[in-house]
Structure 1
Amino acid sequence: MTDGPWDVIPGCDRDCARHARPPAPAYATALRGAAFAAAVRRALADGGRLADPARLRAHARALLGALGVRLDGAGPLRAPATGPGTLVVANHISWLDIPALLAVDPVAVLAKREVGGWPLIGGLARRAGTHFIDRTSPRGLPQVVAGLTEILASGRSVAVFPQATTWCTADAGVFRRATFQAALDAGAPVRPVTLTYTQDTHPSTVAAFCGPDTFLASLRRVLAARGLAVRVTAHPPLPPGRCRDRRELAALARDAVLGAAGNAPTYRGG
Structure 2
Amino acid sequence: MSVWLPTAPCTPRGCAAHNGPAVAPVTAAGRLLAGTALVLAGVLLTPLVSLLGAAHRDRLTRLWARTVIRAFGLRIRITGEPAPPRGGGTLVVSNHISWLDIPLLAAVFPGRMLAKSEIRGWPVLGAMATQGGTVFVERERLRALPGTVRTLADALSDGSRVIVFPEACTWCGQDHGRFTTAVFQAALDADADVRPVRLTYRGPGGEPSGAPAYVGDDSLGASLWRVVTAGGLTAEITVLPVIPAGRHTGRGTLSEAAQTAVASESANRPASSVHQRVSSIPAADSSARTPS
Q: Is TM more than 0.5 here?
A: yes
Tell me the residue number matched to 2:280.
Answer: 268
**Deviation digits for residues 236-257 of structure 1 (CA, Å, limit 9, x no counterpart):** 1111111130110011100000
SS in 2 for 1:197: strand
Distance, in Å, in 2 between the alignment partners of 1:75 and 1:123 is 32
* Structure 1 gap ranges (5+): none
Matched, 1:9 2:13: no
1:64-94 CA deviation, whole Å, 9 max, x = no partner? Answer: 1110111112488685201x31100100000
Secondary structure, in 3 states, of the residue corresponding to 2:145?
Answer: helix
1:23 alignment partner in structure 2 = 22
Confirm or deny: 8 A CA contact 2:77 2:277 kept in the other structure: no
Distance 1:162 1:98 in 2: 14
Q: What corresponds to 2:225 in structure 1?
A: 220
2:147 is equivalent to residue 143 of structure 1: yes
CA contact (8 A) 1:86 1:188 kept: yes
Question: In structure 2, what is the equivalent of residue 179 of structure 1?
Answer: 183
After TM superposition, the structure 1 stretch with the greater mean CA deviation from structure 2, 17-26 or 132-141, is 17-26
Checking the alignment, whether the CA contact within 8 Å between 1:87 and 1:158 is kept in structure 2 is yes
Q: Which whole-Å CA distance do the structure 1 matches of 2:86 and 2:3 have between them?
A: 35
Runs (4 or more) in structure 1 with deviation over 6 Å come to 75-78
Distance 1:131 1:4 in 2: 23
2-structure distance, mates of 1:143, 1:189: 21
**Alignment-derived partner of residue 125 in structure 2:** 121
Residues 26-80 of structure 1 show CA distances to partners (whole Å, capped at 9, x for unaligned) of 1111111121122123222214134432222221112111101111124886852
Instruction: Tell me, in whole angstroms, the C-alpha distance in 1 between the residues paired with 2:133 and 2:81.
Output: 19
Report SS of the residue matched to 2:18: coil
Q: Distance in 1 between matches of 2:29 and 2:279?
A: 29
The DSSP-based 3-state class of the residue aligned with 1:239 is coil
**Matched residue, 1:132:** 136
What is the RMSD of the two structures over their aligned residues, measured on CA atoms?
2.0
Partners of 1:39 and 1:186 lie apart in 2 by: 35
One-letter code aligned to 1:235: L
Question: Is 1:68 aligned with 2:73?
Answer: yes
Q: CA deviation digits over 1:117-155, x for unaligned, max 9? A: 223322222222222111111110000001100000111
- C-alpha contact (below 8 Å) 2:195/2:241 kept by paired residues: yes
Q: Is the 8 Å Cα contact of residues 207 and 218 (structure 1) preserved in structure 2?
A: yes
Q: Deviations over 1:155-184 (max 9, x none)?
A: 111010000011101542100000001111
For 2:169, the equivalent position in structure 1 comes to 165
45-54 or 21-30, which deviates more: 45-54
Question: Is the 8 Å Cα contact of residues 198 and 228 (structure 1) preserved in structure 2?
Answer: yes
**Percentage of matched positions with identical amino acids:** 40
Q: Is 2:35 the partner of 1:36?
A: yes
Structure 2: segments with no counterpart, 5+ residues: 51-56, 267-273, 283-292
Alignment of 1:73-88 (within 5 A): 73-74=78-79, 80-82=85-87, 84-88=88-92
Counterpart Cα distance in 1 of 2:60 and 2:277: 24
Question: Which secondary structure state, in structure 1, belongs to the residue aligned with residue 107 of structure 2?
Answer: helix
1:188-207 equivalent positions in 2, closer than 5 A: 188-200=192-204, 201-207=206-212
Cα distance, 1:263 vs structure 2: 7.5
SS in 2 for 1:106: coil
| Amino acid paired to 1:199 | G
| Separation in 1, partners of 2:119, 2:172 | 19
The Cα shift of 1:116 comes to: 2.1
* SS, match of residue 35 in structure 1: helix
The structure-2 alpha-carbon separation of the partners of 1:123 and 1:4, relative to structure 1 and needing over 3 Å to count, comes to farther
- What secondary structure, in the 3-state scheme, does the structure 2 residue paired with 1:238 have? coil
